[in-house]
Structure 1
Amino acid sequence: MVKYLLLLSLFFSYGCASEKNYYNYYANKNLGSKFLKIDNLKVHYREIGTGDTIVLLHGICDSLHTWRYWKNQLVQQGFHVITVDIPGFGLTGKWNKAYTIENYTIFLKEFLDKLEIKKTHIIGNSLGGYLAWNFASSHPERVNKLGLISPAAYPLDPPFVVKMASNSFTRWLSKTFNNRAISDHLAESVFNKPEKMSEWDKERFYRLFNLEGNHDAYMGVFQNILEIAEHEPNLTLLKTPTLLLWGEKDAWIPHNQAKLWERDVKNLKLISYKDVGHVPQLEIPNKSLNDVIHFLKTE
């Protein structure tokens, strides 16, 4: 009996040590990782460069690491670059609030206030795009230019992994058993050609998905996305100059929604990418970044 107890203690202590090691790995101080407190939430972010500020907001199930191909080149172009793990994801993790757009918008304002950023460019992908355009609509005086990459906005049929959050059994199943398959499916589904996704990114999705509290956070976000997917957006207040980037093979938010954006937002430029999925910043980083830089530097 003592032998089995020792084995169990070794197993759990290894799991805790392993989780701590991965936490430290993704919170790399040499790459600019910092933390600040907002409402008792320890927020993970990175800040590098000088010049006009640009805030990059990742999408669902992602983290600030999704911008790693972009950030150094943006610094070289003269930008002050801030990336952040939004509540519910990455190393920021579980929130003690509902994952509503109202709370996310308040969070972003408080985050910018803490960093004393009065006005900034904002680029957001997917859920980050949803936050970006809502923030620009409610706080237009804080946003110079807006970049949206496959943003959430209009009603849609959510992917299966999002729908499962509404079912208590599948929530329990995904938490109780090894969820590597779920994690890999999530990761690969954002690329048009899954084989192009790096093993580093697959591992990142998996490790961050399994950090303490993150699974419950993901389910909470998924449940709120189901509500978002049923309602028409109010884009009448969005006046900020906006660049819309969209992969034509997006499996999460269909490219045909771009037509609705062109219909409803006047000051908007659309760029579509053939044979690209939900995350152009990872799938075609150079092309998508060049389009963003041209937009930001054009009067």
Structure 2
Amino acid sequence: MSAPIPVRGPRDNREDDPVSERRPVELRPAGIAGFAYELGLREIPRDEIERRYRYPQSGWLNFRHGRLHYVNECEAASPSHTVVLLHGFSASVHTWDGVSALLRQSCRFIRLDLPPFGLTGALPSVEGRAQRVDLEVLREALDTVLDALALERVTVVGNSLGGLLAWDLAVRRPTVVERLVLVDAAGFPMHLPAAIKLLDNPVARWLSPRLQPAAAIRAAVRDCYGDASRVTTATYRRYTDLTFAAGTRAAIVSMVPGLDLSAIDTRPLSALQVPTLVLWGAKDRWIPPSHGRQFAKAIPGARLVMFETLGHIPMEEDPASVAQALLAFLNEPTLP
């Protein structure tokens, strides 16, 4: 078992955001560097990415010749719940900033950067090349954090790909999952979003690690919001920076062929015996709202909340609404 490696001391209560977002952020670097950035011609060194986007409560665990980044935060002397937050494809722990800021005075939050995304990034192999990330690797990453932090009973909340891992954890390790929250979760057969499906094209697969317009990344972020006007400059810059982190694009390209959602067995959902809340953005263009209804129907006793104006990442677009629904669910009594 890997021992947690803390990076800095406990977060000051006045610092609600990661290091990078406590100062004005520009959409791109200035001058010639900005031109190269817009075309995706330059990778950003990992140490630079960590310096910009780590948290005071960031920690790392050794994992498959690389490191897993996680955030362990709590401002309560006796937290009422321990909540594990899992992000989606091409996202990062930062997508939960708003929800965490609203609820960490009562809950302990564990956020994990799934490989090859966020500050975890690409996992090097023994030969120095990025390992291919598939569902088994993602399961192993999640289990590594749970076991290293000795998390025996948790509420697990997952969005998109992280939602798939959340309900999969409830199936694999039912004694660990006390409550389950699925936020626009993956699992049922679907067409991959165009921004991901494009990487099935051999030309796009070759080009992406070498040349990828920042405008395309920003377009994908806009597509994940119900109201694109809510996307901030800092959010655009963060998604682009993390995509351009050294090794990440090549790792994403190698990962996409394994994203066959038609091969996932959802039949075990009907056997789950865990309080479940399904949250969905009615304007989700990546995973249709009908999948939210499917989850609510498949999992015994699950309840569905539909956010009429939100998109694929409602916890980022409107953290207050998601936090309110999550807190109400956490405060509901459970059967002994």
The residue number in structure 1 matching 2:241 is 207
The residue number in structure 1 matching 2:175 is 141
Letter in structure 2 aligned against 1:38: F
- The separation in 2 between residues aligned to 1:275 and 1:118, in whole angstroms, is 36
The residue number in structure 2 matching 1:6 is none
The residue number in structure 2 matching 1:115 is 149
Q: Secondary structure at the match of 1:176?
A: coil
1:63-99, Cα deviation, whole Å (9 max, x unpaired) = 00111111132221x2111111011100101135543
1:255 aligns with 2:289: yes
Q: How does 1:221-232 map to 2 (within 5 A)?
A: 221-225=255-259, 227-229=260-262, 231=264
1:26 aligns with 2:59: no
Change (3 A) 1:174 1:17: closer
Q: 1:233 aligns with which of 262, 266, 269?
A: 266
- The separation in 2 between residues aligned to 1:295 and 1:40, in whole angstroms, is 38
- The separation in 2 between residues aligned to 1:223 and 1:46, in whole angstroms, is 29
Conserved in 2, the CA contact under 8 Å of 1:63 and 1:89?
Answer: yes
1:277 to partner: Cα distance: 0.3
Conserved in 1, the CA contact under 8 Å of 2:271 and 2:299?
Answer: no
Q: 1:39 aligns with which of 64, 68, 92?
A: 64
Change (3 A) 1:47 1:174: same
- The separation in 1 between residues aligned to 2:224 and 2:170, in whole angstroms, is 25
Conserved in 1, the CA contact under 8 Å of 2:88 and 2:163?
Answer: yes
- The separation in 1 between residues aligned to 2:234 and 2:298, in whole angstroms, is 38
Aligned-residue Cα RMSD (Å) equals: 2.0
Q: 2:94 aligns with which of 61, 65, 86?
A: 65
1:38 to partner: Cα distance: 2.2
Conserved in 1, the CA contact under 8 Å of 2:69 and 2:120?
Answer: yes
1:77-135, Cα deviation, whole Å (9 max, x unpaired) = x2111111011100101135543323322221121111111111111000000000001
Matched length: 283
| TM-score normalised per structure 1 | 0.88
Conserved in 2, the CA contact under 8 Å of 1:162 and 1:223?
Answer: no
Change (3 A) 1:155 1:131: same
The residue number in structure 1 matching 2:116 is 88
Change (3 A) 1:193 1:157: same
Q: Identity percentage over the alignment?
A: 28
Letter in structure 2 aligned against 1:233: T
The residue number in structure 1 matching 2:314 is 280
Residue range with higher mean Cα deviation, 243-252 or 88-97: 88-97
Residue range with higher mean Cα deviation, 234-243 or 192-201: 234-243
The residue number in structure 1 matching 2:27 is none
- The separation in 2 between residues aligned to 1:244 and 1:289, in whole angstroms, is 13
The residue number in structure 2 matching 1:268 is 302
| TM-score normalised per structure 2 | 0.79
Conserved in 2, the CA contact under 8 Å of 1:125 and 1:151?
Answer: yes
- The separation in 1 between residues aligned to 2:224 and 2:173, in whole angstroms, is 30
Residue range with higher mean Cα deviation, 176-185 or 241-250: 176-185
Letter in structure 2 aligned against 1:80: R
Q: Secondary structure at the match of 1:252?
A: coil
- The separation in 2 between residues aligned to 1:220 and 1:167, in whole angstroms, is 12
- The separation in 2 between residues aligned to 1:56 and 1:94, in whole angstroms, is 20
- The separation in 1 between residues aligned to 2:43 and 2:251, in whole angstroms, is 19
Q: How does 1:156-175 map to 2 (within 5 A)?
A: 156-175=190-209
Q: Secondary structure at the match of 1:181?
A: helix
Conserved in 2, the CA contact under 8 Å of 1:138 and 1:237?
Answer: no
Change (3 A) 1:285 1:108: same
1:175-207, Cα deviation, whole Å (9 max, x unpaired) = 222420221122111101212111111100000
- The separation in 2 between residues aligned to 1:257 and 1:36, in whole angstroms, is 34
Which blocks of at least 5 consecutive residues in structure 2 are unaligned?
1-35, 37-41, 126-130
The residue number in structure 2 matching 1:298 is 332
Letter in structure 2 aligned against 1:92: T
1:18 to partner: Cα distance: 6.8
1:194 aligns with 2:228: yes
Bigger proportion of residues as helix: 1
Q: 1:53 aligns with which of 71, 82, 85?
A: 82
